[in-house]
Structures are given as C-alpha cells and as structure tokens.
Amino acid sequence: MRRTDRPAMSVSWCLGLAMLLGPIAPWAVSSDEPRDPPRDERLAAVIAAVRAEEAKVRDIEYDVRTIIRDDREKDPVDPTELAGLATRRVVFQGTRSYIREESFTRTFAIKSRIEEVSAYDGERTRTVVSGNCANIHLGRFVHPKLCPPHALPLAHLDVSLPLSVYLEGTDAIRAYLGIPAGEAVPLLAGGSIRVVARFLGEGEIEGVRCVRVGVAHITSEAKQPYHQTLWLAPSYSYHCVKEEFTWHEMHVTELRQIAPGVWFPWKIDVGHYDIPGATQGKRNIVSHEVTKARRVVPSPHNAESLFHDVAIPDGLPVYTITNRALDGSKLPQPITGDHGRRLLENLATRVADQARRYDPIEIRAIASHTNLTPNKRRQSSLIREAMEEHSIRRGELLYSKKQGSLTFLRGSGSTFDQVHAYDGQWTRYVATQQPEAFGSTAATMRHGAVEDDPGLMDSVFTHRPHLLLLRDQMILAPLTYLLGLPAQDWPRLPALRFHYCGETPVDGHPCLTIVGRFTGRGYDTNLSLVVDLATDRNLIPIRLTTFVDAPGARPLPTSLGRAEDLREIAPGLWYPFRVVTMHFQGGTRMARGQLLIDSRDGLRIESATLNPAADDAIFGKVVVPGGMNVSVSDETGHRVGFIRQNEPGVPTLSPQGYQRLLREHQRKGGLRNR
C-alpha cells in the first residue's frame, strides 16, 4: 500500500484502540433465521468514525480508469488485449450527483463500446445508456457505479452508497436505495435477504493498523451466508484498504492526500478467483480489475446544467419510472367469479369473429432478434438473428417459410432455412442450418394439423395479427384458442389461463385488458402476461407486458411489446406493420428500479395481401434433402417411426404405410408407454 506521506496517529485511531479493549463476540448469523445481532458499541463507534470522515468529502468530483485483464478470455491473435476498459467521472455536489462512464468490453469475438450518463438534479434522475435506452426517474435513482470515495474500493460489488450505511446493514441500505421493506438488497446476484456487519477486531496491512469488520450476506439461494472481511485504516480516513470475499480479494495499493488529513484510494486492485475453485476454498486468481484515479477535485463548483441537461438521442426508447414502477404499466387484478368468466367468454367470441376476417391472407415480413447482453460464459449464445418470413393462410391450409442468418458470440455465423406447412392431411417440417459444423438438418411429418396443438410451441406460425405479440413470448397457439379454453385443467391443454381485467386506454386506443398466468409443469408459474386488445382496431393486441412475482422484480415489467403502425388493409380491417418487444435485464439494475434492455425482437411487415392468388400446391411443398430419415408422428404428436427420404423431395406416406407404422409402434409397446 503506497502513500505519499505517513500521518500522525489520529484521534479516530485512538477511538479505534478503545474499541479493541472488549472481548470479540462470536459471529451469530443464521441463514435459516436471518436477524441482526444485538447492537455492538464497538461497531457503532467504527460506523460513527467512518461517517465523520465521509462528511469531509461529501462534495467531491473524481475521474477513475478501470482496466480488466482476464486470462480465460484471451484473444488467440492478441493475447495481451484487454477484456475491458472503463473511464468514469463522478460528481457529488450538494444534493445533486452525476456519473458518466465510457466502457469498452471484449467477450470472445464480440467487442462493444457503451457510454452511460446518469444525473440527479434534486428532482429527477435522467439515465441514458447509448444504444440501449433512457430512464427518467421522478426522484433519485442511485446508479450502481455512483460510489462515494469510501465506497470506491467496493465498486466491483456495486456498493454505491456511503460505507457507513453499508456497515449499518439491511434496513439502512434499503432506506438509502429506496428499496421497500421485505425485498432483497440488490448488491449480490439474486440479492441478499439480510446484510449484517460485525466487529471482528484489529489487524495490520503492510505496517498499517486496521480495524477488521465482517459482513455477512444472507441470501435465499445459499445455505450459508457469504462472508466478507473489510480492513479499515483509521490513519487513512477510515478507508477500506483490503477486502476478502468468496470470489475475490481487493487491495488498495496507493492512497493520496487530497487535503490535509483527507485521503483518497488512488489505486485499487481486485483479483477475481476461479469460481469452481473458490467454491472449494481455493484462491486461484484468473483475472485482475485495476482502478486508478486520474483526477480528484474536493468541493467542486459545476454549473447546474451538468445535472439536468442530459441529452437523449432521437429514437432511443425512453421509460419514465415513479416509485420503481413504469408509468402506465402495472399488473392488474382480474375480475373473478361467474361475472369474470362471462366477460372472458364474450371477449373470446368477439376475438374469434375478428380473426376470421383475416382469412385468407398472405404476409411477407422481416424479423430480427438482437441480444444486447450476451452470456460471457457461453460462446454459442445467439447475438443476432435476421430472417425473411413468408406465410399464407387459407382456411385450414397453412404455409410458413423463414430464411436468414444467425450470428453467435464466438464470432461464427450460419444461415437458416425452415419450411413448415399443412396441406389438409400432413403437417411437414424441415429446417437446415449451415455450415453443418454449427447446425443440422431436421425433418418431421405429423398426421393432421398442428396449429391447435396443446403444446404452445408446436404450431405452424402464420402472421395472424392477434398472435404477433404473443410470438415474442414463444407462444404460437392462436389467441382465439387460448381464450376459449375451459376453466378446468386438462393434461393436454396449454398451461396458460387468461382472465378478464377491464378497460384500459393505451396510446389513445380504448382497450380491453386480460392477464394470463402459467399453471403447469415446465413453465415459469411466476410469470404473468398482461395483454391490451384495441377495441377500435379489430381487438388486435397492441401492448403485451410481462411481470414476474419475485423479490426485486416487481413492479417493473420484465418485457414490454407493442404493435404499432396499424394500417387499413381493407375497409375496417387493420393490421400492425411494426411489432417491437423489449426484454429487460433482471438482477441488480432492475432491483434498484432501472430498466435496461437485454434483448430486442422486431418485426416489419413488407406486404399484407387478403385473398392471395397462391397455388394450393404450396401447402405441400416441403422439400427434404435426400438421404435423411424423416420422423413420423400421429395426431397427438407422439412419434411412431421413421421413413427414409432417399432422394430430394416432399416426404409422402400412404394410408397403408401410416397404418403399418402405427401397428409396429403398438407392437413394440409404444402406445402403452405414452
């Protein structure tokens, strides 16, 4: 630990010596029954001393630079290349605050550069993330990297609050961040139920006497608390000069005086352990995160415009948030009982009547998917998808084709080609992804239509206007089918039930609102879908919002979809020509009340044609490459066998051949084992 000069023993260190005279109490935190220990006067004295030092730098401005080097993500071409680089300007001035961060990250072959600005002017906080979205909070939003000087050594844990507040524990942290009682504290992944600090004793770091404080994070996932140990140096403004945690260790390697008797952590080194080894008690450092100050200004005097003139680029999504809830978006209460069921039945009939008006129809569209926050540990994760889509619907006859490109985190790309169609007898499917090293070819035949299949993801997708928003939630069954389900649960029916909620205006359109909840195995039963159907636009869903009943997630939505640019394709018949769904990040950002886009689904309609002049032959035109085995299923979707497609062409099976497959499958006991 480097410093420019050695100060005399301070009054606060004398206070620290007095605190060490008493015996040290054992750690008394149970993950089964989290509770704060009795008040410890020694810890209270430490907190008071830290708070007194924090008051000396309440108004401050600093610039820091962070460099990340990760041995696990070295570029084979340039192994010395950085995994991450960030510069931050932080200002605390009176009740106002400001942070601007520019970051560069490299995740395998994907490189990204992001600029983020968050400023609080005393009334509202404006946060803009380039290429993502903007949030306007009515009140104060505490950005995870908005760290006061004493919390800067813990910035890697997003401890963006006074160190004294952190040491006071759960209730004080919630009060500072505006987190309601009963919700997790958003400092660790998944949040902590309780954060409890204990006075541990004294220690010494490179000849500097320190007070040791232990902090336990009790979470809902871990059986035991996560333990953290802090070394606070009274001689250096009570800054945390060393920290040990389950997955890392931190050292302040340089401190500088910025005013007489006032110190600043100038250089901070965080060594991150290999996580599998860390769970076994090993401390193998595989990456370093080094933060170094570049400029510190005590008592800054910036113009007020710095805190309220935050430019929002044109076209960037803007979300206004009040009390950690998105304005105009909430989880409604359904109308229960017989009255609610009658209202839903009436709505189902009306939606079915409107949906029939869009048959027959042909649609050509461009679909896209963009993942803005790829999983750093999964090289095969999808980053970008661009598809041309074509669908035709004529009564029971269905045709759907999509082809385009995929880009993965590892930098590789592939092409995708899929045809799915029903000709009145067979539902055929073929999909090919090239090159073969990254993909495969699959072909199936199913007896009968698949559109009304009980599975929510096994339908022939045609661009029905009442279904476009549901597809972004991986729900491919028609809305008319879902609304018409009986109240009782049948094993073969989708695990999704809708309920009528009432009337809601959306973007100037009168709407009827329904809420859907998943009820069966294999689905997230905490997920709710709120769908708003425009009564002046053929009851087409024009907004779909999802919520998750989980600590730290509500009341903010987890996704928000809109159907826009509605055009009349025939008198009194409307169709949305643009559909966009934003899926939001969870974790600490959402728990703190910020919406940040995780991925984006988009659909742009190129043409919509009623009564198309398509040849009926197209509904059976599903060409399978030669040399493939085609999986054959019965009407219920159970596989009964295979047929060999020796030459390229449309797979066919005579009624006699299908009956032979059924008999052979039954002989082997397949039907009895369903």
d(CA 242, CA 232): 7
At 486 the pLDDT is 57
pLDDT tens for residues 470-507? 999 888 777 877 887 654 544 445 567 899 999 999 99
At 224 the pLDDT is 83
329: nearest Cα among 545, 594, 549: 545
Question: What confidence category does residue 246 fall into, taking pLDDT thresholds of 50, 70 and 90?
Answer: confident
144: nearest Cα among 202, 222, 86: 86
Buried b (16+ CB within 10 A) or exposed e, 641-658: bebebeeeebbebeeeeb
Q: What is the mean pLDDT of residues 510-530?
A: 81
- Which residues make Cβ contacts (< 8 Å) with residue 581, sequence separation at least 6? 469, 472, 473, 544, 559, 560, 561, 562, 600, 601, 602
Any long-range contacts for 271-275 (C-beta under 8 Å, 24+ apart)? 272/247, 272/248, 273/247, 273/248, 273/249, 275/247
Q: Are 356 and 350 in contact (CB under 8 A)?
A: no
Tokens of 124: 């509202």
Q: Are 164 and 51 in contact (CB under 8 A)?
A: yes
Q: 325-620: which CATH architecture? A: Clam (2.50)
d(CA 152, CA 486): 57
Question: What confidence category does residue 670 fall into, taking pLDDT thresholds of 50, 70 and 90?
Answer: low
At 297 the pLDDT is 97
d(CA 669, CA 501): 47
522 against 273, higher pLDDT: 273
Task: State the chain's mean pLDDT as an integer.
Answer: 85
pLDDT tens for residues 116-152? 999 999 999 999 999 999 999 999 999 999 999 999 9
What are residue 574's phi and psi, to 5 degrees? -105, 150
Going from N- to C-terminal start, the domains of the chain cover 58-322, 325-620, 628-673
Distances (CA, A) of 297 to 3, 301, 457: 18, 9, 58
Whether residue 86 has pLDDT greater than 50: yes
Distances (CA, A) of 613 to 133, 425, 617: 43, 22, 12
309: nearest Cα among 120, 88, 114, 94: 120
Percent of the chain with pLDDT over 90: 64
Whether residue 38 has pLDDT greater than 70: no
Domain 58-322 identical in fold to domain 325-620: yes
d(CA 625, CA 519): 40
589: nearest Cα among 220, 187, 117: 187
Whether residue 197 has pLDDT greater than 80: yes
In sequence order, what are the beta bridge partners of 514? Answer: 500, 531
At 20 the pLDDT is 30
d(CA 578, CA 582): 13
Q: What is the mean pLDDT of residues 76-86?
A: 67
Tokens of 577: 């020509």
At 389 the pLDDT is 97
How is 80-115 classified by DSSP, letter by letter?
T--SEEEEEEEEEETTEEEEEEEEEEEETTEEEEEE
Question: What confidence category does residue 521 fall into, taking pLDDT thresholds of 50, 70 and 90?
Answer: low
Classify domain 58-322 at the CATH class level.
Answer: mainly beta
- Amino acid identity of residue 600, one-letter, is R
E strands, 77-207, in order: 84-93, 96-107, 110-120, 125-129, 133-137, 194-205
What pTM did the predictor assign? 0.86
d(CA 448, CA 454): 13
Q: Are 653 and 645 in contact (CB under 8 A)?
A: no
d(CA 170, CA 161): 12
